[in-house]
A and B are shown apart, each in its own frame.
Chain A
Amino acid sequence: DSGVTQTPKHLITATGQRVTLRCSPRSGDLSVYWYQQSLDQGLQFLIQYYNGEERAKGNILERFSAQQFPDLHSELNLSSLELGDSALYFCASSPQQGHYGYTFGSGTRLTVV
């Protein structure tokens, strides 16, 4: 167990729907990062939060949004889902703002049908 908890582990949903992925960071870590891993795009950085504030944005679609709550857990919301959104979504956490000391969760496998 890495200490980073992601739920659910698997999700199957239909096109056009909306889902929420949840991440609890490792104890003491203030930064949360979201990544998407698909077969054709590899691992893509989506967004980072640090202590509740958005810190960096990567290749995140406008249909996707995220937030980090006061207890430091984070949620990634995916809406108007398309078949191409099927992927493994990872959350990682680290103690500080910089991209080091990453610990990844076990991921949420999203299948859009």
Chain B
Amino acid sequence: GIQVEQSPPDLILQEGANSTLRCNFSDSVNNLQWFHQNPWGQLINLFYIPSGTKQNGRLSATTVATERYSLLYISSSQTTDSGVYFCAVAGNQFYFGTGTSLTVIP
């Protein structure tokens, strides 16, 4: 299957700081999505981004498919951004990375 690596595994930020999360994948993919799992366990779709750049409020994502990586940018972080961020790529199934656990402290 496709290997998906995310970095860093853990991140602690002061409220208001910016961060960049990275996702590397081992093969060509049809689809890439970023998800946020909040502290209550709910998985929320952030971006569908097989290539290019998208922005949604304080979050933006860029995927460079030819180089097999994607970046998620979080600006002006808030405590509600805490949780685990997953990157998932689709080949014949959806492969999830192991996630980046983000803690934003006030």
Contact = CB atoms under 8 A, between A and B. Distances in A.
Interface string A88-113: 10101000001111111011010000
Interface stretch (A12-20, A42-50, A78-86): A42-50
Contact of B30 (A48, A100, A102): A100
B12 to A, nearest CB: 20
B45 A106 contact: no
A56 B95 CA distance: 13
Contacts of B99: 42
Interface residues of B, number: 21
Interface stretch (B15-23, B57-65, B69-77, B85-93): B85-93
Interface residues of A, number: 22
Interface in A63-83: none
Interface in B32-85: 33, 35, 41-45, 48, 50
Interface of A: 2, 33, 42-45, 48, 56, 58, 88, 90, 92, 98-104, 106-107, 109
Interface of B: 30-31, 33, 35, 41-45, 48, 50, 86, 88, 90, 92-96, 98-99
